[in-house]
Structure 1
Amino acid sequence: LKPGDIDWEYIFGTLGVRWMHTGGIFAALSETAAETVIEAVKVAKKYGTIVSYDLNYRPSLWKAIGGEKKAQEVNREIAKYVDVMIGNEEDFTACLGLEIEGNEENLKELDLSGYKSMIKTALKEFPNFQVIATTLRTVKTATVNSWGAICYSEGVIHEAEHREDLEIMDRVGGGDSFASGLIYGFLEFNDGAKAVEYGAAHGALAMTTPGDTTMATLSEVEKIIGGGSARVDR
C-alpha cells in the first residue's frame, strides 16, 4: 500500500468510522506502508475518529527500512495522532525512545512503578494520549506465563486481574486479542477499568486455545472476567 491507495476521507468523513486500529508491524512492512499509516491517522484525527496503535516492535522488520532509528522516526510521528497507545516496555523504549526504570532485563519479576513512571514520561511528551495500555507478561517457561495488564485512562492507572501460571497453548496473538478486548471495552462502556479487564481476559483465552486468532466468544470473556474458570461449558 502507498499513500493515495485508500480514500480515507470517505472512510472517516463520509462513513463516519468510529475507531481505527493499526500498529508497528504494518508500519514496518515498507517505506510506503509507514507513509500510509501517517496519511491515515492524520485524516482520522481530522474527523475525530479514535486512533489506537500497537507499537509491536519487530527488529527484523524495521531492519530492511532503516532499523531502530527509522522505527523511532516513524513511530514518533504517528504517535502525535494516537489516542490509545499500546505497547510493552521494549516497544516504548525502541519505538519512542522512552526508558523504563526498575524492570530487570530477564523480567522474572515486574516492577509496576517502572511502568507508571514510563506512563508519566510518555504523557509529558505526547499529551494527546488519552489511554496508555500494556500487557504484563512474566515468562516462567515456554508453556507457563503469568499474565496481566495495566491501562492509564482519565488520570487513573487501572490494573487487570493478574493471572499467575497461565498454561500457554499458543502465545501468538495474545497482544492482538488484548488490544481487541480493550477496544471493545472502551467502545461499549467508555470505562478504562472495564476495558483493561476485557483485554486481559480475552488475551488469556486466546493464548490458552489453539491458533493465532481468537476463538473466544463475548460470553466466554465475560465469564472469565466474572471470576469463572477457563473450563469448557458443555
Structure 2
Amino acid sequence: MKNKVVTFGEIMLRLATPGYLRFSQAAELTATFGGGEANVAVSLANYGIPVDFVTRLPENDIGRACMMDLRKQGVVTDKIVWGGERLGIYFLETGAVSRGSKVVYDRAHSAVSEIEPGMIAWDKVFEGADWFHWTGITPAISQGAADVCLEAIKKANENGITVSCDLNYRKKLWKYGKSAEEVMPELVAGTDIILGNEEDAEKVLGIKPEGVDVTGGQVLAAAYESVSKQIMERFPRCKKVITTLRGSVNANHNTWSGVLWDGKKLVEAPTYDITHIVDRVGGGDSFMGGLIYGLLTYNDDQKALDFAVAASCLKHTVYGDFNQVTVDEVEKLMSGDASGRVAR
C-alpha cells in the first residue's frame, strides 16, 4: 500500500475575474475552490498517493459543493468536520506584465476560523498515516485554528508521523492579536520538513538571508545555505529545509527553481524560464505536493527536488488553484522535454 498523507487547513471559494480584467471591469467572476493544504492534497491524489484533507466546512450547499469537488479530484473527505456558518472566500484579480495580481480575502468568521481543539479526532485521522502536512496560513487565521494545528502536530509527533510545513507568510491574515513570530516557532519545532522562501524565513522566524537579490529576475541559490543552517540550528527536529527560488521578471514571466539542504549539502534543481504564466496561484502548493511525492517515491533528494520544481513549473500553465497534472507529464518535463507538442 502506498504511503498515506493527511493535510489540514482551510479551503475557500475562489472568485476570479475573467482573463486579465480588473475588479472594477468585471461583470462576472469565475468560481472554483482552493486553499494551500487542499491544493497539496489534490496534487498528491493526482500522483496516486492516498490523501485525506481535513478541514471544517459549513453544512450548506456551498460546503457540500466544496466537498464534492475535492472528491472529484480523488481526495478523501470523510474526516472533514461540519459546522460554522460560512465558507471563506477569496477574490483574485490576475495581473499582467508590470501590474501584479491582487487577492482580497473575505474569510472572517469562516467555519475553520471558529474551529476549536477537540473538534477533530486526530487519533482516528492519523490511523495508517505516514505523513502530515500543514502551512503557516492555518495558524494565521485565528487562535483556534492555531491551537488545532498545534494539537495535530503534537499528535503526529506522538505517532511517529513525518510532519512537513510550508511557512507561507500571509501579512493580510495575521489580525487576531498575535504575530507570526509569536505563534509559528512552537509549531515549526514539531516539523521535520520545512519549505519556505526568503520572505517566509524573515517574517515567520526572524531569519534573514544574506547576499540575495530577488528583485532583478534572478536569485542566487547558494545564498540560501545560511538560512537553512540557521533553521536547523534553531529547530533540531528539522531534517530538510527547502527553499523555492522565484525570480519575477514581470507578472507573466518568472524564473523558477529550488534548493534543498539536508544538513550537509545543498542540492539545487534546474531553473525553468516560465514566459507565459496562465495562473501562478497555488504554485508553492504544487511544489510542496511534488516534493512530498518525490520524497516518498524516489528516496533521492535530487530527484525529489527536481520533481517538485517541474511539477510547479507545469502548474503555472494550469488555471485554478489545483495542479491537475500527472506523474508522466512531470517526469517528461524532468527529462528535458519542454516542447509542448501535441500528444496524439
**Same topology, TM > 0.5:** yes
| 1:66-85 → structure 2 map (5 Å cutoff) | 66=177, 70-85=179-194
Residues 18, 184 of structure 1: alpha-carbon distance in 2 compared, 3 angstrom cutoff: same
Match of 2:147 among 10, 19, 35: 35
Measured in 2, the distance between the counterparts of 1:105 and 1:135 equals: 12
Change (3 A) 1:144 1:32: same
Q: Deviations over 1:139-196 (max 9, x none)?
A: 0011110110111226222111111244211110110000000000011122211111
Q: Provide the TM-score with structure 1 as the length reference.
A: 0.93
Alignment counterpart, residue 176 of structure 2, candidates 65, 89, 92 = 65
- Is 1:2 aligned to residue 116 of structure 2? yes
Structure with more helix by fraction: 1
Matches within 5 A, 1:1-234: 1-12=115-126, 15-62=127-174, 64-66=175-177, 70-104=179-213, 106-153=215-262, 155-229=264-338, 231=340, 232-234=342-344
TM-score by length of 2: 0.64
User: Do 2:217 and 2:255's aligned partners in 1 also have CA atoms closer than 8 Å?
Assistant: no
Which contiguous aligned blocks of 4+ residues in structure 1 show a shift greater than 3 angstroms?
none
In 2, the alpha carbon distance for the partners of 1:173 and 1:154 equals 28
Deviations 1:72-92 (CA, angstroms, capped at 9, x unpaired): 121100011000001110001
Give percent identity, aligned residues only: 39
Cα distance in 2 between the residues matched to 1:191 and 1:110: 24
Q: CA RMSD in A?
A: 1.5
Higher relative contact order (CA 8 A, sep 6+): 2
Q: Deviations over 1:42-100 (max 9, x none)?
A: 110111101011111000001x1235xx2112110001100000111000110011111
Question: Could you tell me whether the CA contact under 8 Å between 2:253 and 2:277 is conserved in 1?
Answer: yes
Contiguous gaps of at least 5 residues in structure 2: 1-114
Aligned residues: 229
- 217 and 60 in structure 1: CA distance in 2 versus 1, 3 angstrom threshold: same
Paired AA for residue 24 in structure 1? G
Decide whether the 8 Å contact of 2:221 with 2:268 is kept in 1: no
